[in-house]
């Protein structure tokens, strides 16, 4: 009997496979919904919500404010953060001369072109001419303040862009 046991098991397996194939089943049909693999990472907290910069140039319904960040040559050599980590915040000043963050106008730089960083925000028609405002640049969100701009007002008319410049030293 022991000699026939392996042969019997083999014949049983062949018979089961033939029956299964004759029924037309395929491995994909056997499992209706495969179990997804377990996640390999846990998402962190969502980034602060900020409106996307405008896709086109200012139109008839508003203007733009544009930050230009000049990097001192030594900054690139001594920097402890990458430009992608820099965080910008716009503040407005009340009648008592206190500064307050503008909730929607904060975020990282949009670009670096020829060693100069840029960030642009759209200004709706209802806010044209308002001020004063200032732009702050931090080493990261919630981090150390690196630069603060001079105060400025929003564009006075539709289609205008107000450019604000700051310099980051070493």
For residue 22, whether the previous peptide bond is cis, meaning omega lies within 30 degrees of 0, is no
What is the average pLDDT across 76-84?
Answer: 73
* CA dist., res. 99 & res. 49, Å (int): 21
Please give the backbone phi and psi of residue 112, each rounded to the nearest 5 degrees, phi first.
Answer: -130, 120
What digits encode the pLDDT tens for the residues 86-118? 999 999 999 999 999 998 899 999 998 888 899
Looking at residue 152, what DSSP letter applies?
A: B
Yes or no: say if 160 and 62 are a contact pair by the CB < 8 Å rule: no
pLDDT > 80? residue 64:
yes
* CA dist., res. 83 & res. 99, Å (int): 25
What is the average pLDDT across 136-141?
Answer: 93
* CA dist., res. 100 & res. 89, Å (int): 10
DSSP assignment of 10-31: HHHHHHHHHHHHHTT--HHHH-
- Where does 62-115 show beta strands of DSSP type E? 62-71, 87-93, 99-108, 111-113
Residue 70: both structure tokens together = 């000049």
What's the pLDDT at 55?
Answer: 46
| Nearest alpha carbon to residue 145 among 153, 154, 132, 134 | 134
What's the pLDDT at 112?
Answer: 87
Looking at residue 120, what DSSP letter applies?
A: E
Between residues 9 and 117, which one has the greater pLDDT?
117
What's the pLDDT at 15?
Answer: 63
């Amino acid at each position: 009997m022991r000699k026939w046991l392996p042969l019997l098991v083999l014949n049983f397996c062949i018979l089961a496979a033939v029956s299964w194939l004759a029924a037309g089943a395929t491995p994909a049909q056997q499992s209706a919904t495969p179990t997804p693999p377990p996640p390999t990472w846990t998402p962190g907290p969502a980034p602060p919500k900020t409106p996307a910069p405008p896709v086109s140039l200012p139109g008839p319904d508003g203007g733009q404010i544009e930050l230009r960040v000049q990097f001192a040559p030594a900054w690139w050599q001594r920097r402890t953060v990458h430009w992608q980590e820099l965080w910008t915040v716009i503040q407005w000043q009340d009648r008592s001369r206190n500064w307050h963050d503008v909730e929607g106008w904060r975020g990282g730089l949009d670009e670096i072109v020829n060693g100069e960083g840029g960030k642009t925000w759209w200004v709706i028609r209802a806010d044209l001419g308002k001020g004063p405002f200032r732009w702050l640049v931090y080493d990261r969100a919630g981090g150390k303040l690196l630069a603060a701009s001079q105060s400025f007002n929003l564009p006075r008319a539709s289609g205008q862009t107000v450019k604000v410049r700051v310099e980051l030293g070493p």
